Each structure stands twice: as structure tokens, then as C-alpha cells.
Amino acid sequence: MDGNAGPQYTALDYSVDQAEGGGTGFGIGSSFKPINMVAWLQAGHKITHELDTYTVYPVNSIPCAQKTGA
């Protein structure tokens, strides 16, 4: 990012934590079903445990990343 504000930039930096200007994470979404929660708890995890789901998204794989301007 070049430091300029504009419609092509997000207001949050998703690559850093909240203390450095990032967000607080994402909601669990529709993939979170009661059966998954039961399996999680039966595996010995607590309801307060976090699950790291690190995924790499190559910029070139996102169609809108190839567009410029508004």
C-alpha cells in the first residue's frame, strides 16, 4: 500500500492485530453447526479456545485485485 486513501483500500489492516490497527477477527459464519461444536468439546477443547485457521490467498487469485480506480 502506498499510504494514499481511496476507495480501493480497506479501513482495516487484516494482516495485523487490533493494537496495530487491525480488526478483531471474523464471525464464525454459517459453517459453525452445533454438531461441530459438540465434536470440538468432546475432543477436549473449551468453548473459549481459539482456532487458528491460517490460509494464504495469493493476490492474483482475487479478480478485483487486478482492477484499479473507482
The structure's pTM equals: 0.35
Quote the pLDDT of residue 1.
45
Interior/surface letters 44-56, b for 16+ CB within 10 angstroms, e for the rest: eeeeeeeeeeeee
First vs last C-alpha separation in the chain: 16
pLDDT at residue 43 in the model: 94
pLDDT number for residue 29? 67
Residues 6+ apart with CB under 8 A from 18: 24
- For every one of its 70 residues, what pLDDT tens digit does the chain have, with 9 covering 90 and above? 455 666 776 666 666 777 877 777 666 666 677 888 889 899 999 988 887 777 777 777 767 655 665 5
